[in-house]
Structure 1
């Protein structure tokens, strides 16, 4: 599944330690000659995801010999100022609920814009042309910074401001969670799916005490609900597929 023309180029993956970013890391490892990863500590309640990152990097490096050869340096940036500015359910110990404006209070204003801006600055310094993120406007909570239009506009702004030809890749943008599970299987087979189930973290509350068929989580927050529903539909598709 490696695309011709970019196999020798380098990529930087926004890698949180969750299901989507792990799938994106596999996507990048399959396509680019050198892949580095970037995580952000912004005071998130579910910062247990940061602890999963080295575990997942090691796991993916062990899935395919080529992936081990391409996986490069890991970086973590302290963006605690973003959490300090945000009064959200992802950065404060408050209940998850909808706000008057129609967005859930899990929305961290400017998060993806800040993430991609810092990623672009790091990619510039590291000589990496491609930046891969797990933004998606199919299964999302209405976050405006997950929309394709936002990412395209930001790519234009970053290229103008840095005088570089950076490319922002969002391989999950137009697929749902069931299709994200299926993409993981196409990229790394059942071993990658098993790794995502066992090792990634997506739950907004940072709950890893309960192991479910789709992984660990509280089972009730929006992130868990999306992941559980997507996994169920993915498994149902497998069962109904012709053999």
Structure 2
């Protein structure tokens, strides 16, 4: 887990409305005096996550008064050209499959690099140097822009280009999905876990009609499978600990 350069000041969280970014938001609210959020509308197929953002922020403020006092502004940026130049299963109504390059067709080239670049530009104007994202190497789809080396190299580039220190913090980088559920429980107990299951959105297809114990989704896309498997592993671990 990376440490912040300015713990106790302000952080800007890349917040999609999904499980990972919600856990990152809770993580930041525990550590910073003020936390702002930023989201991106790039005409993604699973636009249900954008609708979830408002609900998740509202539920966090309602259930966690201490965090509500630290929760600052939300920023939404439209990046329609990203979908125009991408031909992926997240920006088109197409099948999810493994490509010849060895990456899933859900990979949107340059997405996280662009997200952090825009976040850094916004942070520069607002005096925020700490950027928080839910990227992970341990339990992910092989996206090269989720790798720690990629993101820390980007942080150095942004620091040079803006002539001030920019930190990219990735609290989920070295834990799997079961560990993400466990971290959510550590941060906010059953209330946060229930909030994530009920209000966040992860499904690549955008399905909000089927409710599972781990949340809403089609149950078959890679994002749903990852989330469901993590839930089962975490629950099995907690049950074993309780009976042990």
Where does structure 1 differ by over 4 angstroms across 4 or more consecutive aligned residues?
Answer: 3-7
Of stretches 55-64 and 35-44 in structure 1, the one that deviates more from structure 2 is 55-64
Q: Which structure 2 residues correspond to residues 29-40 of structure 1 after superposition, within 5 A?
A: 29-40=29-40
The residue aligned with 2:111 is 111
* Contact 1:9–1:129 (8 Å) recurs in 2: no
The residue aligned with 2:157 is 157
Q: 1:34 to 1:56 in 2, by over 3 A?
A: same
The count of residues paired between Structure 1 and Structure 2 equals: 241
| Pairwise CA distance, 1:5 | 8.5
* Contact 1:63–1:188 (8 Å) recurs in 2: no
Supply the distance in 1 between the matched residues of 2:4 and 2:100 (Cα, whole angstroms).
Answer: 47
Gaps of 5+ in 1: none
Give a deviation string over 1:33-69, Cα, whole Å, max 9, x none.
0100000000100011000111100111123222011
Supply the distance in 1 between the matched residues of 2:94 and 2:22 (Cα, whole angstroms).
Answer: 28
Gaps of 5+ in 2: none
The residue aligned with 2:232 is 232
Supply the distance in 2 between the matched residues of 1:194 and 1:17 (Cα, whole angstroms).
Answer: 15
Q: Which structure 2 residues correspond to residues 1-243 of structure 1 after superposition, within 5 A?
A: 6-242=6-242
Supply the distance in 2 between the matched residues of 1:84 and 1:209 (Cα, whole angstroms).
Answer: 28
Supply the distance in 2 between the matched residues of 1:218 and 1:4 (Cα, whole angstroms).
Answer: 36
| Pairwise CA distance, 1:242 | 4.2
3-state SS, counterpart of residue 62 of structure 1: helix
* Contact 2:4–2:167 (8 Å) recurs in 1: no
